[in-house]
Structure 1
Amino acid sequence: FRKKTKTNVVAIPGILPNIDGVEVMFVAKDNTLIYTKIACDHLFTLDKDGDQKLDGRVVSIIYRGQSDNSVIEVFVAFSDEESYGLFSMQLGLQERLASISKSVFLQLGSHQNLFSKTDTYATQFVYTFKMYKKGSRFFMVNNQQTAAYLVDESKIQRGSADKIKSVFWGA
């Protein structure tokens, strides 16, 4: 195992604007949560069980530093309408993800110590996730129920869907 050093990234203040038509929900660097979109109730609807469910889907954009091995994860939310065309019909999916990835990189690139000015980054997309909100906690799970995230005000957890699901729903 490699010992990880603590990241020197300062939390991103305020609310990030809509970037290229998607909402930036969370940003993490080297497993440290540095941004959570707090004012987001308008993105959720109540499902038949009365739970707050994102009206759309979430994609994780992962930027990996090629020389410093840093990992920056940006979780973006797509509207339900756009999600259907992109992820069900695969209409322009790769082009749209590439466009969003570039826009996010440029928008967040000015934030202190988030991206290195001298490193190059490999980009990976992990999609799609359903997202639920309960108070100030968020639960994301992929369609196959094999991967999940739990985000609260100060940290991000990842793991098997069953484990994370039971923590979120309190089972």
Structure 2
Amino acid sequence: MGRPAKSINLHAISGNKAKLSKETIKKRKQAEEQMTFKDDAIEAPSFLSDRGKKIFGNLLVEFQYTQILKNVDSQMLGLYCDAMDRYISIKEQIDHDGLMPFGKPHQLLSHQDKAFERAMKVAGRFGLSPSDRAKLALNMVNKVKEETTNDNGFGDRT
């Protein structure tokens, strides 16, 4: 199974490791521009609890500067917020009852693990982990460096 496709902008930020030609990049940019989505009505999905909606709102504030989030992403981000809400609810219940009630591990521990795994899978799609952001930032710095370097084809020789 192949890797999931990246947008051409994300591909460029990553450093053009596939060595796509300028013409290919231009064609893909044009195709992606035709498939752009609006970002004027991003709302928390109705299935979220109050805490989930609060998490959603906090993330919207953070995402407003990236211009990555679009209206169609609200359901996926809602799944992340729901998973985090469930994780927090289960954690509160475990903290209340104790890790080992009746001398056995709490039966909600497996549900907590599943909620955590689900949240992390969706978080990776949005670049919510520090390592994903660090990679993107490093690649953005390299891209800016490449764009500002006056490349005459002779390296640093004139």
TM-score by length of 1: 0.26
Name the one with the larger strand percent: 1
Q: Which has the higher contact order (CA 8 A, sep 6+)?
A: 2
Larger radius of gyration between Structure 1 and Structure 2 = 2
TM-score by length of 2: 0.27
Name the one with the larger helix percent: 2
